[in-house]
Every structure is written in structure tokens, then in C-alpha cells.
Structure 1
């Protein structure tokens, strides 16, 4: 049985356009891959704490030297990583806020990037350790930015996932959602079609 990890990063939880796209994508995936187990993580309902010095210090501390607070920090990070390890497919709902990724998603990334756990440094550079997985990114945007210098999201998310070993990454864009009903409806129709084709 395959496992799919769904991550919603919208501030509006399930009501966000990106979250609604993830729901459609997961439903289509389950229809084409019967028996798929779904793990859901909503970063609005259950936000990951932003990384600070104390939390980063917990990651760096030797296991036998961690205090109770540090052990709790590492256990939380380990739980996020265990979800990723279990997943064959990762679906991320990605809204664009002020030309970047939601800070909650950045916090999540900061907690799953662990040296010796999800990546390691070698004589030839870094090596990702979460191999053999597929990621589908559903990017919802008010304006139109794909392929332009203002689209910092695509490169960042692709580079980060590649850093931890996830190199099979596909983006589906729903852009121009705030440019009037005609633009919104056309963008969502195109995204829905792309989701159906990818999940088939």
C-alpha cells in the first residue's frame, strides 16, 4: 500500500485555494491508486514553531547530552521526518504571500532539514537521504509570476526538496486568481485538468 503525505500551507487552512487544489489532487490520486493511505498536515491548524537558537541547538546537541526540553524538540522534528519517510508521494498546497513561501512552510522545512538524518555532507558535497519519492506542488497565486524573476518559490522549493533527496518534483500553477472572475475560472480549470492528468 502506498502512502501520500498532504501538506497544506495556506493561512486559511482548508478554505485556501491551494488547499482546495490539494484536496482535488489527493482525491484524484486515490481514485487512480486505490488503497493509498493519506497523512495530512495542516500548517495553519498545527503550525510548526519557527526555528530559533534554542531549537537549532537541540538539533546540534549530542543525543546523550540533550536535556528534556531539547529531547522534546528533536522528537517533534523526528515525527515530521517520519511522516516524510513513510510517504511515497508528497502533495504540497503552496500559496504565494508577498512573493515568497508562507513562513509556516519555511518553518516546516527548517525542522526537516537535519544533517545526518535527511541529508549528509560528503567529500563531494551534500547528499539527500530521502530518495525515491515524488512531490507535487500546487501553487496558487493572485498574480501571474511563473517563469519570471518574481517567482522565487519554484526555485526555492525545488532546490530544498532536491537537497533532502526528493528530485522528482512537479509544479501545477493556478495563477491570476485575483485578476477577475474570468482569469480565476480559467486558471482553476487549467489546474484541475493538470491535476487529473498527473494523477492518472
Structure 2
């Protein structure tokens, strides 16, 4: 147990972030000092989400696979936190590397996922169809969340011994991961 840690819980299924819109894009790409009050209002939710992400040392995402990809509210969260000038930088003058991550270093990402079929893991028969892990790892690494772990339950649609074994294996993996994280040197936030 780490009683000094603070847990910030966000359920995007129950409280989905507002999807990115044309007004959001116009506000996000406007220099902060030139934003109108209306643009500040449009970005307020994104500001809160990116602020929480900036403060987090560990990000745990529960992500079921829906038709090979992410649920729409989780994609809306990603769209709100991958923000130019906030979580990634951009400068056209840097022709070799015009983009760079802006999240503070040392953060970790844990993805807990469930899949109806099986074989979506690395080198699995359906690995090429696993858009959940790519849909999280790629944009989050882009902003600086490089270190990630995945724990998955498969065989959801089969409801047989394979599902029970997959759940048991996932629970053991989560327990081992919790033990490892409990020993990690994360600052109290």
C-alpha cells in the first residue's frame, strides 16, 4: 500500500469528453495570448484533462476492444490530451524533428484490455488487427508516455475454460505489476 499516493479517477464511459470540433481546433492552434474568452471556454475541458495527465506519474487505462479499436469516449480523451503547445511541441523551423513530446519524463502507462476473440497479442494470429494497443501507445508515446505495459483478457465471446484461464492469467499479471509498481520510486503527488 502507498497511502501517500493520490488517485485521480476518470470514467470516460460515464462522463465522455467532448469530441474535438472545428471550434476546438481553431482555439487549440491559436496562440494562447490571442485566444478569445469563447476559445478559452472551448478548451477548458481539454485544459483540465491535460493538467491531470501532466500531474500523473502512472496512467492506467481500461480499454475494451470494440470492433478492433477504441471506444469513442476514449478516443475523445486522446484527442483532448494530444495538444500542440501543451503535450507536444511543434516548430516548422526544426525541419529534422518538428515535433517533440512535452509530458514530464518518468511516467508509465498501463493498459488493461479485454478482447472477444484471441490472438491479438504480439505475434498472435490477429496481432495486426489490434488497434486498441496501437491506438493508445502511438499517440501517448508521441506526447511522452513511452513506457507501457499491457494486460489483456481474451476469449470473452467464448465463455469457456479458455476465458477463465485468460482471466486468471491476467489477474496474476496485474498482481505482479502492482507488486512491481509498489516498489517503484514515484514521487507522492
Query: Hey, which of these two has a bigger chunk of helix by percent?
Result: 1
1:175 corresponds to which residue? 154
1:137 corresponds to which residue? 111
Q: CA deviation at 1:66?
A: 2.6
Q: Is the CA contact (8 Å cut-off) linking 2:88 and 2:102 kept in structure 1?
A: yes
Counterpart-to-counterpart distance in 2, 1:114 and 1:159: 14
Does residue 90 in structure 1 map to residue 65 in structure 2?
Answer: no
Matches within 5 A, 1:152-163: 152-163=131-142
Q: What TM-score, normalized to structure 1?
A: 0.79
1:128 corresponds to which residue? 101
Rg larger for: 2
1:186 corresponds to which residue? 165
Q: Is the CA contact (8 Å cut-off) linking 1:172 and 1:194 kept in structure 2?
A: yes
- Per mean C-alpha deviation after superposition, the further-off stretch among 68-77 and 98-107 is 68-77
Counterpart-to-counterpart distance in 2, 1:71 and 1:121: 21
Q: Is the CA contact (8 Å cut-off) linking 1:177 and 1:187 kept in structure 2?
A: no
Q: CA deviation at 1:44?
A: 1.6
SS at match of 2:52: helix
Q: CA deviation at 1:172?
A: 0.7
Q: CA deviation at 1:117?
A: 1.0
Counterpart-to-counterpart distance in 2, 1:186 and 1:164: 35
Q: Is the CA contact (8 Å cut-off) linking 2:46 and 2:80 kept in structure 1?
A: yes
Q: What TM-score, normalized to structure 2?
A: 0.84
Counterpart-to-counterpart distance in 2, 1:46 and 1:134: 24
Task: Pick one of 163, 174, 178 that aligns with 1:199.
Answer: 178
Q: How many residues align?
A: 169
Cα shift readout 1:154-198 (whole Å, capped 9, x = no counterpart): 223111111000101111111111112312211111111000101
Q: Is the CA contact (8 Å cut-off) linking 2:115 and 2:153 kept in structure 1?
A: yes
Q: What root-mean-square deviation, in Å, do the aligned CA atoms of Structure 1 and Structure 2 show?
A: 1.4
In structure 2, stretches of 5+ residues that fail to align are 180-189
Q: Is the CA contact (8 Å cut-off) linking 2:23 and 2:42 kept in structure 1?
A: no
Counterpart-to-counterpart distance in 2, 1:120 and 1:59: 12
In structure 1, stretches of 5+ residues that fail to align are 1-30
Q: Is the CA contact (8 Å cut-off) linking 1:128 and 1:163 kept in structure 2?
A: yes
